[in-house]
């Protein structure tokens, strides 16, 4: 096997250094603060110091409603304040159920203030616009995000689920203050490879945060028809060679791109976090990576 392209070294996120694996809070909905705290502690111990949440988290995955995940995370931080010191805390806003998206200055200011209250903190390290509001001019959005930084309530800003064109338009007005973009990316969802997202990240030195690196669990479900059987077979073959699970190979695939994505892990089981941390040990060369792409897309490369 030739040199492995899997890069599990820490990433630079703006002015901060974070792990290649991140702890995602979409499903962080435990009613037991002790269980929730232990899960977060496991992530931090494993070097997953970027903790990614959003104000809308809690509307599903057994949550109790809008903002409930931030509230739980806030309770966990209050229960042991040193947890806050160990993490790079990221949250998102801009989704308003029923509208559905609003990135106007008043709406985002209100969203940020509410997030800070629920989290019980005076500032967050990264604030991202969760979904693009097609009716807010990028210059207006840039002014709003810059005001968050100037106020000291936010250290860094980014975007999520945006197009390349939307990122470019915002970058014109926001400049280097834009440090991150959060696309869906996995062996089952290759869009950032093809639509220019990762190319733009490398051009602008923006850090990609890859959500659903396991395809929302689809890569692990042998009965999910949305994932080609050939892809699972290739992942399993490599997993057998590497002595790890299929999930570890899938996460390692995300870490191999030269844009240096951060893989956001959504599992809510400490043992699974420990298992997925073994993705750092997986070796994938170009042949492996292109085999995964071909198996995912079902088409030979030109």
The predicted model gives 270-294 an average pLDDT of 98
- pLDDT, one tens digit per residue, over 144-188 is 999 999 999 999 999 999 999 999 999 999 999 999 999 999 999
Assign 221 a pLDDT band (cuts: 50, 70, 90).
very high
The predicted model gives 55-61 an average pLDDT of 94
Does residue 1 register a pLDDT over 90?
no
Active site residues: 57
Superfamily of domain 11-220+259-281: NADP-dependent oxidoreductase domain (3.20.20.100)
Assign 61 a pLDDT band (cuts: 50, 70, 90).
confident
CB atoms within 10 A of CB 221: 14
Calpha distance 146→144 (Å, rounded): 5
The pLDDT value recorded for residue 88 is 98
CB atoms within 10 A of CB 194: 11
Calpha distance 264→204 (Å, rounded): 21
Q: Which of 71, 187, 174 is nearest to 120 (CA)?
A: 71
Please give the full DSSP string across the chain, using - where no structure is assigned.
Answer: --------S-EEETTEEE-SEEEE-TT---S-HHHHHHHHHHHHHTT--EEE--TTTTSSTT--STTHHHHHHHHHHHHSTHHHHH-EEEEEE-B-TTS-B--SHHHHHHHHHHHHHHHT-S-EEEEEESS--TTS-HHHHHHHHHHHHHTTSEEEEEEES--HHHHHHHHHHHGGGEEEEE-B-BTTB-HHHHSSHHHHHHHHT-EEEEB-TTGGGGGG-TT-TTS-HHHHHHHHHHHHHHTS-HHHHHHHHHHTSTT-PEEEE----HHHHHHHGGGGG----HHHHHHHHHHHHTS---
- pLDDT, one tens digit per residue, over 228-239 is 999 999 999 999
Percent of the chain with pLDDT over 70: 100
The pLDDT value recorded for residue 285 is 98
The predicted model gives 100-119 an average pLDDT of 98
Partners of 50 in the β-ladder = 88
């Amino acid at each position: 096997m030739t040199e492995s392209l899997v890069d599990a070294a820490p990433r630079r996120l703006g002015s901060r250094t974070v792990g290649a694996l991140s702890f995602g809070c979409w499903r962080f909905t435990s009613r037991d603060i002790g269980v929730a705290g232990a899960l977060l502690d496991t992530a931090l111990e494993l070097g997953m110091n970027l903790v990614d949440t959003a104000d809308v988290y809690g509307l599903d995955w057994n949550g109790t409603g809008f903002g409930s995940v931030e509230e739980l995370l806030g309770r966990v931080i209050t229960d042991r304040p040193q947890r806050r010191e160990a993490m790079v805390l990221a949250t998102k806003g801009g989704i308003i159920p029923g509208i559905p998206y609003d990135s106007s200055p008043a709406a985002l200011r209100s969203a940020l203030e509410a997030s800070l209250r629920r989290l019980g903190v005076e500032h967050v390290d990264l604030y991202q616009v969760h979904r693009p509001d097609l009716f807010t001019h990028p210059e207006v959005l840039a002014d709003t995000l810059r005001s968050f930084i100037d106020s000291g309530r936010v250290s860094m800003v980014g975007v999520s689920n945006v197009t390349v064109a939307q990122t470019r338009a915002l970058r014109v007005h926001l400049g280097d203050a834009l440090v991150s973009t959060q696309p869906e990316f996995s062996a089952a969802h290759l869009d950032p490879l093809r639509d220019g997202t990762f190319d733009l990240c490398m051009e602008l030195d923006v850090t990609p945060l890859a959500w659903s690196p396991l395809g929302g669990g689809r890569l692990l479900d042998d009965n999910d028809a949305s994932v080609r059987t050939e892809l699972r077979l290739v992942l399993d073959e490599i997993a057998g060679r590497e002595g790890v699970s299929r999930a570890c190979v899938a996460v390692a695939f995300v870490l191999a791109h030269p844009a240096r994505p951060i893989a956001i892990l959504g599992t809510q089981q400490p043992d699974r976090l420990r298992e997925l941390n073994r993705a750092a040990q997986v070796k994938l060369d170009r042949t492996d990576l292109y085999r995964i792409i071909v198996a995912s897309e079902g088409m030979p490369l030109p």
